[in-house]
Structure 1
Amino acid sequence: MAADDLPIGVAVTLEPLVARVLAPNASAYTCTGTQTHIVGIADVAVIDPGPADPAHHAALLRAIGGRPVRAILITHHHRDHSPGARRLAEDTGAPIVGCAPIVVHEAGEQADAAFDADYAPDRVLTEGDRITGEGWTLEAIATPGHTTNHLAFALAETKALFSGDHVMGWATSVVSPPDGDMGAYMASLDKLLQRDDRVYYPGHGEAVERPQRLVRGMLGHRKQREGQILRLLAGGPRTVAGLVERMYVGIDPRLHGAAGRSSLAHLIDLERRGLVRQEGDVWASI
């Protein structure tokens, strides 16, 4: 099934232990919408319940079908992933667990989804922490980069990884400073490359059936962007907007902001490594 054919509000079985419910919040940054995953048969965990949308909440309750909910897991608290947790917790009695809450002091335009300011987990998970139910085990995998608190969740029984926004099935993730960190993002991709997960179920886009191949491609793409930035700056100082104009020819204009944020993340990472410097709004090679 193609990503643009995914049904909204309908539980789709991906494998015996995993179902997916698509939220009706499609946009330039969310593909067809946010995908909530339900793990388990007799009892369940809900991963990323999505926005605070009444129709999506009702769809999740239908998919759960009265089964006990052991936990509501959050990969990161962007507004398209976590706000639905509060009402779902009220209706099911399940705890909200997952990424740590953070306070982001925005500097300039934020191109990707805004943070959920009311996110307050009952339990913060860190690397290796596990949530279990009847016949299923979910392990937290720290994958910072898209956000500093981003987690993925590995389903031990089937080698499936719920990758949130770190690896998506339709586009590369936006890495937007001040919270997004390109160096951490690249390290997290390399970390996933060392794993043997069978399939990724992302927050947006279709399932990734050959995840190691995709992750290698994503690392190569980011390194190519880095090289492109260095070559352009070797020709003279440029603003972020000037870099985007040269590097992202032909993309949807609605995505220029996101491209600028990721370019800035590359520049900050290159500055830390002593390869570029900032002079006001202009960046230059060293």
Structure 2
Amino acid sequence: MVWWEWTYNPMVLIMRDTVTDLIAFLTVARERSFTKAAAQLGVSQPALSRTIRKLEARLGVRLLTRSTRSVAPTDAGERLIETIGPHFDGIETGLNEIRELSGKPAGSLRITSVEHASTVILAPGVCKLMLDYPDISVEISNDYQLVDIVAQRYDAGIRLGEQVAKDMIGVRVGPDFRMAVVGTPSYFKRRAKPLTPHDLTTHTGINLRLPTSGGLWSWPFAKDGREIRVRAEGHVVCNTLPLMLDFALAGVGLAHVPEDVVQADMEQGRLIRVLDDWCPPVTGYHIYYPSRRQPKPAFRLLLDILRSGV
């Protein structure tokens, strides 16, 4: 059989179209959005919708549930992701390993992190990686929610060591650090400084909403083997550290944030720290990934960079 006869074999064309449709499905399922997926694939949103409908018709099952606000895999869709996802990951890993032999590592990485870890650990490491290997691309998604990195097709996640699931491989990439409760001098002219966490019930807090439960984060404290969580009620709720810091510096209320975020403001007298003795070190950040998945060459390079900074 000559080359052109194999190329135009109908079965080959069918398989090619099926693979293309499956890639489209995986992208929509990962992004939870036809609009975002279409932008990534370089097609129009209506064309992508038609592709998914044709795939569903061919398979005879509904793969995605659609609403005006979101898209999510059905049970059949989840099963298909679990079945075919690892194979597509393996193909990408294999191609990237071949590229690595040329001395030019390439590929894309998707990492879920939290804002603080991204700023102090991940971003510096990614900058070094991309300067040394310009053919590697990295997508960072900041989210306080503990996401399923396998189902959402992330290569890895970064969270505190205590948050890493036992079925994941976790590697420390940051030292232990402390949290700090801070307020402005003008705030403490209006309110007495709290001496214990229980005193926070009479103070105004700048709070963080948790995406998983929808509730507000309760501030953790520990001293002499005793651990408690307290919520300082307030009128401001944020979802980013810089915004929380802006409100704290404006004298609106107290913020509970990583110590290094407010170190300069404390040293220059813009913020005053309280309850210092109730804020012991917390476990440093770890990068984690599935134990059953072979890490991509690009990820191994990033892992070496992040681990070297500990």
**TM-score if structure 1 supplies the norm length?**
0.31
Hey, which of these two has a bigger chunk of helix by percent? Answer: 2
**Which structure has the greater CA radius of gyration?**
2
**TM-score if structure 2 supplies the norm length?**
0.29
RCO higher in structure (CA 8 A, sep ≥6): 2
